[in-house]
Copies of this chain bind each other. A is one copy, B any other.
């Protein structure tokens, strides 16, 4: 049997046919064109599923159902995208809109949640049943798997792990509060701190790294310049590690998962990031003797996590 996974994004709709081992056997990508009515997007999604099934020479009878990972606030139980700024959607019954054309079970969840499920069943978290995925990108997303299943909270409005305050009265966050983990551990926050540090130290090698143009700062600037022995870059990275590790320690104490997986652009730093986080977390771990270790891993499915995780909603 096969499972269709759709990674619905503001720019592209990525569709894949996934087998029971979590391998993508066929995939496609079409533009979302999100500025049109939601029903037209759903129509294209449905057609794309049927086209892909056909081109992969699979019978629709072999397809268990369709899973969709969508940005925004989703009500998974109802199959509705409550609100998605990326798509400009409000109260779209996406499951129903696809179901009426495909006549197969359709399940929907938030994109970060879906990625957490995919990574747990078929990626970095394979073999674990209780895991948490934290994505370090433009924002900080979270997904929680308990007992091999997604935990999403009431009406799927939990698991917003990026919107947990680690500094009361701290940096402003897009959510309206101050001091959220997202305001310290996202790539956006890292870039903000990097630029701020550069303005305080006009002699920093970070200026050379970006060719003197502060607009070229990205999530790599401080990490890469630190390797050249730049003190200000080191300060930026150490602070980033401090705040992120405190956020991860909070997750350890609250959920005590078997493993935490990190995804998103900042994870390209690999072991340089991971080992520093592990060192700090080990020293500050809550608990008495015998407290079980929480593995810290880097997500491994990359851009396919969305498709595979969405398909896994049907497994």
Contacts and interface: CB of A to CB of B under 8 A. Distances in A.
Given A164-B253, A177-B284, A289 B83 contact: yes
A165 B250 contact: yes
A309 B130 CA distance: 25
Interface residues of A, number: 51
A155 interface: yes
B154 A256 contact: yes
Contacts of A168: 166-167, 242-243, 246
A292 B165 contact: no
B287 A157 contact: yes
A130 B154 contact: yes
State the copy count for this chain: 2
Contacts of A302: none
Contacts of A176: 284, 286
A292 B154 contact: yes
B82 A153 contact: no
A159 B286 CA distance: 12
A167 B167 contact: yes
B73 A254 contact: no
Given A165-B166, A166-B168, A256-B158, A249 B177 contact: yes
Interface string A70-98: 00110100000011000000110000000
B256 A288 contact: no
Interface string A251-277: 001111110000000000000000000
B257 A154 contact: yes
A200 B190 CA distance: 38
A241 B259 CA distance: 33
A164 B248 CA distance: 10
B158 A255 contact: yes
A209 interface: no
Given A176-B284, A246-B165, A284-B177, A157 B256 contact: yes
Interface of A: 72-73, 75, 82-83, 90-91, 130, 142, 146, 151-161, 163-168, 175-177, 179, 242-243, 246, 249-250, 253-258, 284, 286-292, 294
